Structure 1
């Protein structure tokens, strides 16, 4: 996350990450990745803004893929969070541990050389990334399937394809992206309350559309959106808001169960 290349900076660095991951596979177990890429740290201003967008603070557990010298994780720890950083370069991991020691946060952080795709994402509250777009896209299904709704994701330099970010900014000339992992609501739901109906929803990331069957009358579901587990949509001009918890949704005066 904290590395920035002098020449073709983010792309070459992320390609080195990808090459290192391939080298870590069983097929290439005996090969060592090239680690002679020159880098300079990403400005602290970018780190601070990413952590602010994700609202990192006490009680949070953050993972950082492409952690470089650990500045993102160390800064998060100074805000009261716990952190875990992954990088392919042993020298960067050494520097990250040294930076954590200087900051007095070694009890709150951990740094490892590891395969990104083998990491457990389910316990994280925040995930930070500085990777190539194709690696982001390869990670995206795991992010959506295994991270809990409401997990905050921040990425430096690269997006995640057609998953629209909640926020996209330029900080010190660098692109910064922010997403919130949405709950899963696609499928059929039975709604009880003042308005009884059956919903059939089609979800695309944090947005959804669908149909509501109200006493045999089909009505469009519009303005469907999720902010983590928080859901809102409109049916026949009425706005519904609630919170998703697995196979149920609890709203004000209504509830729904997965059919």
Structure 2
């Protein structure tokens, strides 16, 4: 084989691979657009999403699949928040930017054409979504890693076995998707992770907590020497609220590596201000 022909073959092969890569990227882009169609959230639903999340001036809201940008713009104009809208359709991004300028909030909001799965959510205090169930489930691991207390709101679709903390329903008489003439608004607070063994100190030195956690649901045992009482509770961001037992209920707040008792009733009211420390061991020392 001549050298010029070999060089031609190599060049043709490289060009073919580049074309294939470009076609694959275009197909992936088209598939995402097809998977998450643009359907407008009615104004009443938008307001309920922002109300349920208690959006205010201190919030930075990220809307995943922002469409025409209305959620981000209303959050800025009516509630004083800053925000980012993430959308993969260029025409919708440009339309959102124009709307933000017309609404006078372009200094507080941005709209970006990008893949929502690659979006940095670390600044968000609120994340809003009107996606499809399978997309929500794909996003769930990323959402659960956000700062405890971050609020998540979804229009219509849930997160599988991560049950919402609150749900409301809004009448939408002219709804064009599905048979129902209403929309669900589902709300979650990202829970801190408290599973494991926690050992008391000071007045709590005889006590320990052994906890198991599934999303915001927590169960385990409060142990004192050889006696154990079953406890159940829920995480609300950094705060664990246990149900009342014969020894009372506890409200604990995660601060670094400590679970601090911030409230309680019954005999446990006497240990307010004390804390349990997380340990990576099969049992507490002593």
Q: TM-score, normalised by structure 2?
A: 0.76
* Residue in structure 2 matched with residue 68 of structure 1 by the alignment: 67
* Residue in structure 2 matched with residue 256 of structure 1 by the alignment: 276
More helix by share: 2
From the CA coordinates, give the structure whose radius of gyration is larger. Answer: 2
Offset of 1:219 from its aligned partner?
A: 2.0
Offset of 1:74 from its aligned partner?
A: 0.3
2:192 is aligned with 1:183: yes
Offset of 1:38 from its aligned partner?
A: 8.6
Offset of 1:212 from its aligned partner?
A: 2.3
Number of aligned residues:
233
* Residue in structure 1 matched with residue 154 of structure 2 by the alignment: 155
Unaligned runs of 5+ in 1: 1-24
What SS class does the counterpart of residue 198 from structure 1 fall into?
strand
More strand by share: 1
* Residue in structure 1 matched with residue 138 of structure 2 by the alignment: 138
Which residue of 198, 209, 222 corresponds with 2:208? 198
Unaligned runs of 5+ in 2: 1-20, 172-181, 262-271, 280-286
Q: TM-score, normalised by structure 1?
A: 0.83
The whole-number CA distance in structure 2 between the counterparts of 1:131 and 1:60 is 22
What SS class does the counterpart of residue 28 from structure 1 fall into?
helix
Structure 1 residue runs of 4+, over 6 Å off? Answer: 34-38
List per-residue Cα deviations over 1:21-80 (Å, max 9, x = no partner): xxxx98822445276999663211110110000011101001000100100000111111
Q: 1:88 to 1:242 in 2, by over 3 A?
A: same
What is the RMSD computed on CA atoms of the aligned residues? 2.2
**Does 178-187 or 33-42 show the bigger shift?**
33-42
2:14 is aligned with 1:28: no
- Counterparts of 1:209-220 in structure 2, within 5 Å, are 209-220=219-230
* Residue in structure 2 matched with residue 47 of structure 1 by the alignment: 46
Q: 1:40 to 1:162 in 2, by over 3 A?
A: closer
